[in-house]
A and B are shown apart, each in its own frame.
Chain A
Amino acid sequence: MVGLLDRRLVFVTGKGGVGKTTVAAALALFASEHGRRTLLCEVDAKGDVASFLESGPTAFTAREVLPHLSVMSMDTEASLREYLRLNLRIPIVGRIGPLAKAFDFVATAAPGVREILTVGKLCYEVREKHYDLVVVDAPATGHIIGQLAAPQAINELVKVGLIRSQTDWMLEILSDPAQTAVAIVTTPEEMPVNETLELVGRVREETTVELGSVVVNRVLPELFGRTEEEVFDALCRDDAARELTRLAGDDPTPVLTAARLAVTLRRTNAGHLERLRSALDPAVPMLYLPFLFARYHGLRTIRQVALALGEEMGF
């Protein structure tokens, strides 16, 4: 299977709260540091990309924030303007205010129009070869299908017209596994794994985009092997704990309880990971990222995640 870095367009999605934006930013940062001219596009425009990369606010017009790394945030109205400017030579484009407002209504009434302007802009950047790689911090699980399937939806709803005539080349880019992939981010927990498996099925059935990777974020370290755990169990018995109190000079209960917590969490997670792995097509690469015992989430975190991601991708 083609590696994520060798594609042209990668949609990063996942259930809310699993670290989707972190992974998208890390992937983009890693790609840019490996010489790819990279565009990172935030679709939800919550401003997380800006705060993670400590780059200042992002806008529709891409801006290079680090060498080879540009960031932008999606804005469907701006995308429409750009599209009209490029495709229609109509004088009204100059006085586009009322048109944009009307567009809002059309887009609200006809799902697919807003999505096609998002996907269209991304595919356009790919087609024009402005970047080697476009990484999309895509919408969460619930909305990504609508976006990836937008060109087909438009094909079904709109029989003629300019938008219709545009969907073919977009579909070509989206359906080409050498160019486009979706990466699903998850954590080894119950709900994220459930949603990931559901999404994997929907991506396969409802879109033409290939599943490029499943990224498992926040994997807890394994504290002990089996024999070490026996030692730990023995350490927790009253007589040993008393001796440990004497040797360490204080009550070790918090430390022992914390270790027990870590072991239990790791074990619960392992069950969900196993469920995920056994349900996935073995051909889909799984990338594992460690839980970071970090203070905050900024560029420092993104760098750490990028490093781990690079290792997992075989760099």
Chain B
Amino acid sequence: MAPRRAPSKPVGRGSLDGLLASREIIVACGPGGVGKTTTAAAAAAMAAAHSGGKVLVLTIDPARRLANALGLEGIGNTERRVPDEAFALAGIKPRGELYAAMLDTKESWDALIRHHAPDDRTRDEILANPLYRNISQRFVQSHDYIAMERLFEIHSEGTYDLIVVDTPPTRNALDFLDAPERMAEFFSSRLLRWLIVPYRSRLVNFASKPFYQVADRILGTQFLADIAEFFILFQSMYDGFIERARAVQRLLADRRTSFIVVSTLETVPLREAEYFAQAITERKLHLGAIVLNKVLPDYLRDPEGAEVAERLLDRAEEIAGAIAPQLNDAEPAQVRRVLTEIGQNYMDYRIVAQSEAEKQAELSTAAETLVSVPYFETDVHDFAGLMRLGAGLWGE
């Protein structure tokens, strides 16, 4: 049953419309578990549908059904066109083209090594190095870095009018913003050179230096040698790498790039999202919008609704007796239970909805645009669902 009365539009319900039309890159960030990937995909789909041009959504780890909806099932690192039939099933004739790609960390790292390696031998040695394999697959920051790196690469090819990128859920909110800079710092560090000196030149008696003594006792000589070999190999790519990391950093700060923070109004994600918004602003990056997902519908805060719910609770027996004959002669006791349940249910959700409204009001000063997307009863599992979420992003 649909509400007969249109819910009143809350203040400050914005739209991503303008942002998606005016930028070349949108980076979606925010805490885990708030629908960030789905939001990025929906935003890209809406842009392709309404603004036209070639739009790419670069996702990290989409749910299987979302991957299916985008036609990405079983597809790796390369970009694929989302067929127009997907739009047609949702009753939409897109003005532009939608592409989607999933980020494969290891494949992206390997491609990067192939690109930067000075010769085939170095390339093969790095690809086979156990530390490299460890770093490219397990090292958390490497995911952060490679996502930004891949974004840069795709953007510099000039194939797309708009790229919407989903970010990995990071341990530390700032990691992916700092990843390029940290990578650059890491490989240009004096300390690193110092660490590999003894392995480069056997003239230095490193056993006499206290640092190596301790490192040796803790880690073992073989392991230190492995580390050194890795860095010596890596240094051959050093210049290209640093230059690239800096370029990635510049692209993120460019005015063609904008960030959106995705969150729900739950306490913990919201606190993290506020932290994100603050970090983006402090870094002088452009915070385009805050998108609030799964916002409880406005009718839960309806004062008349609360009055009805209270009356159902207070006068359950009386009302049940009076209305039972109209309900296929149901047991009045059963009707009373139903009335009590639905009254209590309304009051329960009302508390949460009110607390959410309060938090949303506090947020309205944090970003130029605040977009809230209503709670959907079911998960997004097909393209129509994605477009429904997209309509919410458009403030429709």
Contacts and interface: CB of A to CB of B under 8 A. Distances in A.
Interface string B1-13: 1111100000000
Contact of A296 (B31, B139, B267): B267
Contacts of A293: 348-349, 351-352
B379 interface: yes
Contacts of B231: 109
A278 interface: no
Most buried by B among A108, A140, A189, A252: A252
Interface in B31-54: 31-34
Interface in B332-356: 334-335, 337-338, 341-343, 345-346, 348-349, 351-352, 355
6 contacts: A139-B171, A162-B218, A163-B219, A251-B304, A258-B299, A262-B349
Contacts of A101: 191
Contact of A234 (B134, B327, B375): B327
Contacts of B328: 230, 234
The 7 tightest CB contacts between A and B, nearest first, are A17-B33, A16-B32, A161-B220, A254-B305, A293-B348, A264-B377, A259-B342
Contacts of A262: 345, 349
A98 B214 CA distance: 12
B169 interface: yes
Contacts of A264: 377-378
A257 B309 CA distance: 12
Contacts of A249: 307-308, 311
Given A190-B379, A253-B305, A293-B351, 7 more contacts: A17-B31, A105-B191, A106-B195, A106-B215, A255-B346, A256-B342, A264-B377
Interface string B118-152: 00000000000011001100111100000000000
Contact residues of B: prevailing secondary structure: helix
**Highest count of chain B CB atoms <10 Å: which of A140, A190, A192:** A190
Contacts of A235: 323, 327, 335, 338
Nearest to B312: A248
**SS class, residues of chain A in contact with chain B:** helix
B304 A109 contact: no
B319 interface: yes
Interface in A39-98: 44, 46, 48, 84, 88, 90, 92, 98
Contacts of B266: 17
Given A159-B223, A236-B1, A268-B379, A227 B334 contact: yes
Interface of B: 1-5, 31-34, 63-65, 130-131, 134-135, 138-141, 169, 171, 186, 189, 191-192, 195, 210-211, 213-223, 226-227, 230-231, 264, 266-269, 272, 297, 299-300, 302, 304-305, 307-309, 311-312, 319, 322-323, 326-328, 330, 334-335, 337-338, 341-343, 345-346, 348-349, 351-352, 355, 375, 377-379, 381
A298 B351 CA distance: 16
A142 B137 CA distance: 11
A17 B222 CA distance: 41
Interface string A229-257: 01110111001100110011111111111
A205 interface: no
Contacts of B138: 111, 146
A254 B32 contact: no
Given A164-B220, A231-B334, A258-B299, A244 B348 contact: no
Contacts of A256: 1, 342
